[in-house]
């Protein structure tokens, strides 16, 4: 089964993986969030083959995560920009980084930190409930397709 075959599944995790479910796609997105937009820059950053990168960029464009825009007419050259749908994946990458730093730390790399661009203040990203502002705790959350929440389940 190909990743794209998951796009029609009822499971939202499977549908999400149909777009970002391989290692290269998430790394391409990481580079886009770091400000890389041009094919050659992304390729140099990842050390990925042109064919594989082209496939991943095409898929991200088809799914509306990236948009390709012309930046040079002769020869024709394009850059890839995150769309609103693409920018909405930022919390996914932040969560993955946070998890990896806590549970798969690198032996010699300095800790990965997030800082506010304006103030320089170090940030501590967490996934929170929009209404209460409380951090989500998997032991206190029930998730699924029920239409009406019921107590005691």
Q: What is the mean pLDDT of the chain?
A: 91
13-22, 60-69, 129-138: which range is least confident on average? Answer: 13-22
Within-domain flag for 49: yes
% of the chain surpassing 90 pLDDT: 73
pLDDT value at 57 more than 70: yes
Does residue 50 lie within any of the structural domains? yes
Tokens for 70?
């012309």
Structural domain span for residue 40: 3-83
Mean pLDDT, rounded, for 55-77: 94
Task: Please state, in angstroms and as integers, the Cα–Cα distance from residue 66 to each residue in 43, 53, 121, following that order.
Answer: 16, 13, 30
How large is the average pLDDT for residues 39-50? Answer: 96
Q: How confident is the model at residue 1 (pLDDT cuts 50, 70, 90)?
A: low
pLDDT at residue 56 greater than cutoff 90: yes
Residues linked to residue 114 through DSSP beta bridges, in sequence order: 123
100 located within any domain = no
CATH number at residue 39: 1.10.10.10
Reported as a single tens digit per residue, the pLDDT across 80-135 is 999 999 999 999 999 999 999 999 999 999 989 999 999 999 999 999 999 999 99
Length of the chain: 153
Three-state secondary-structure class, residue 82: strand
123 backbone dihedrals φ, ψ, rounded to 5°: -105, 150
Residue 19, pLDDT above cutoff 70? yes
Residue 135 within a domain: no
- The whole-number pLDDT of residue 150 equals 60
The number of domains in the chain is 1
In a domain, 17, yes or no: yes
Is residue 23 one of the residues assigned to a domain?
yes
Q: What is the pLDDT of residue 64?
A: 97
Residue 113 is predicted with a pLDDT of 93
Flag whether 138 is in a domain: no
Please tell me the predicted confidence (pLDDT) of residue 4. Answer: 62
CA atoms within 13 A on the CB side of 152: 0
pTM, two decimals, is 0.85
Asked whether residue 28 is assigned to any structural domain, the reply reads: yes
């Amino acid at each position: 089964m190909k990743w794209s075959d998951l796009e029609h599944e009822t499971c939202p995790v499977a549908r999400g993986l149909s777009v970002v479910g391989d290692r290269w796609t998430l790394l391409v997105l990481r580079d886009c969030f770091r400000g890389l937009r041009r094919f050659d820059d992304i390729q140099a950053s990842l050390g990925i083959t042109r064919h594989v990168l082209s496939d991943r960029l095409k898929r991200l464009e088809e799914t509306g995560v990236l948009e390709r825009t012309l930046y040079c007419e002769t020869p024709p050259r394009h850059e890839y920009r995150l769309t609103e749908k693409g920018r909405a994946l930022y919390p996914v990458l932040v969560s993955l980084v946070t998890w990896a730093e806590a549970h798969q730390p690198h032996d010699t790399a300095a800790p990965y930190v997030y800082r506010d661009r304006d103030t320089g203040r170090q940030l501590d990203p967490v996934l929170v409930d929009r209404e209460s502002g409380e951090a989500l705790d998997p032991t206190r959350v029930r998730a699924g397709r029920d239409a009406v929440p019921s107590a005691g389940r």
